[in-house]
């Protein structure tokens, strides 16, 4: 009865996998910082337990009166039922400045569906910056901290592991294949056809997707060389592409690129209504294909980061950095200085 709860509660519009994972990791961090029980409630479009299982802690509602718990303190000013945490000034002040801390602490149940990045600063961080380097180096250090949080809380479900085994058997011949993966977030999946992401897929000065693809393959060759025989060369085994652009995905799946392969599915946004359960499972299979890679190239995308959080290895490079290193590949373009 004395327990207090911090609940990630996805009740309707919560965006895609990556945004939801960011929010859940922040809820775990806040629960730890403020001594609360962390729970995750995600039933739309399918229960989270279809894809992920508890690891070191039980974040499910099993054994709890979930309806009563989720209804409690529904009028609290500290609920964050908007995805943008900064919409709730009461909550932000309480965790960032201690203003209203007494009322915050007295609230038994605090629910959130935020997609705020979990590296946001709390008031308690000020005295501990020397032991929290990921708050200083958020671009790289934050990803490794996210991996720690994720693997403390989650592990893939048996259904997800079996589906990933099947995908690797189809694409690379074996679920135990060692490979390099590339996540290319460029827009175009079902439910998000209108979205274009030049900022995450086209570094300044490089307008051609074909040029980016050629650079990514060059970077894969370097990665494989640095892995010292752990991964077969591209001449023997292609790099595995995970992308939300279905036109590119199907073109690669048809075999038009000898050194590039992909799992032949149609990418669907998690929020897209009316999709089949297998479509939602395949979103997580894409994440697992990134996670099982020996090394990975990532667009600036939360879904790609989730693949890193789930991974056994920490080897990764940002796609934009990769393309920048390939500046001699493009005639008359200095990628690093272009505006």
- Check if the beta carbon of residue 308 is closer than 8 Å to that of residue 147: yes
Give the span between the Cα atoms of 339 and 334, in whole angstroms. 10
Mean pLDDT, rounded, for 281-287: 97
- Check if the beta carbon of residue 283 is closer than 8 Å to that of residue 19: no
Residues of the chain with CATH 3.40.50: 158-331
User: Cα dihedral angle (112, 39, 183, 298), rounded to 10 degrees?
Assistant: 80
Taking 60 as the threshold, does the pLDDT of residue 130 lie above it? no
Taking 70 as the threshold, does the pLDDT of residue 336 lie above it? no
Q: How confident is the model at residue 133 (pLDDT cuts 50, 70, 90)?
A: very low
Q: Which fold has domain 158-331?
A: Rossmann fold (3.40.50)
Give the span between the Cα atoms of 44 and 9, in whole angstroms. 10
> Token match 């149940």: residue?
109
Taking 60 as the threshold, does the pLDDT of residue 307 lie above it? yes
Taking 60 as the threshold, does the pLDDT of residue 317 lie above it? yes
Residues 6+ apart with CB under 8 A from 257: 213, 238, 251
Q: Taking the complete model, does pTM exceed 0.95, yes or no? A: no
């Amino acid at each position: 009865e004395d327990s207090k709860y911090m609940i990630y509660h996805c009740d309707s519009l919560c965006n895609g996998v990556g945004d939801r994972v960011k929010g859940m990791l922040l809820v775990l961090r806040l629960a730890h910082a403020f001594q609360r029980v962390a729970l995750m409630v995600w039933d739309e479009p399918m229960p989270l337990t279809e894809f992920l299982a508890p690891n070191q802690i039980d974040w499910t509602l099993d054994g709890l009166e979930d309806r009563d718990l989720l209804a409690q303190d529904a009028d609290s000013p500290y609920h964050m039922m908007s995805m943008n945490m900064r919409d709730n000034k009461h909550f932000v002040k309480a965790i960032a400045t201690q203003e209203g801390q007494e009322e915050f602490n007295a609230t038994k149940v605090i629910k959130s569906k935020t997609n705020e990045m979990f590296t946001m600063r709390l008031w308690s961080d000020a005295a501990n910056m020397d032991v929290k380097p990921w708050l200083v180096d958020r671009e790289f250090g934050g990803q490794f901290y996210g991996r720690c949080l994720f693997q403390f809380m989650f592990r893939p479900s048996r259904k997800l592991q079996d589906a990933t085994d099947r995908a690797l058997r189809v694409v690379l011949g074996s679920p135990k294949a060692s490979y390099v993966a590339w996540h290319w977030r460029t827009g175009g999946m079902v439910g998000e056809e209108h979205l274009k992401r030049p900022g995450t897929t086209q570094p300044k000065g490089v307008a051609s997707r074909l040029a980016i693809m050629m650079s990514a393959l060059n970077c894969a060759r370097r990665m494989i060389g640095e892995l010292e025989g752990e991964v077969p060369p591209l001449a023997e085994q292609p790099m595995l592409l995970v992308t939300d652009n279905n036109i590119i995905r199907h073109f690669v799946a048809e075999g038009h690129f000898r050194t590039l392969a992909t799992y032949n599915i149609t990418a669907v946004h998690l929020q897209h209504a009316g999709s089949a359960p297998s479509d939602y499972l395949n979103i997580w299979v894409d994440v697992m294909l990134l996670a099982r890679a020996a090394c990975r190239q990532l667009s600036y995308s939360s879904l790609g980061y989730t693949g890193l959080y789930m991974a056994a290895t920490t080897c990764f490079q940002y796609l934009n950095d990769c393309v920048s290193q390939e500046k001699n590949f493009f005639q008359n373009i200095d990628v690093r200085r272009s505006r």
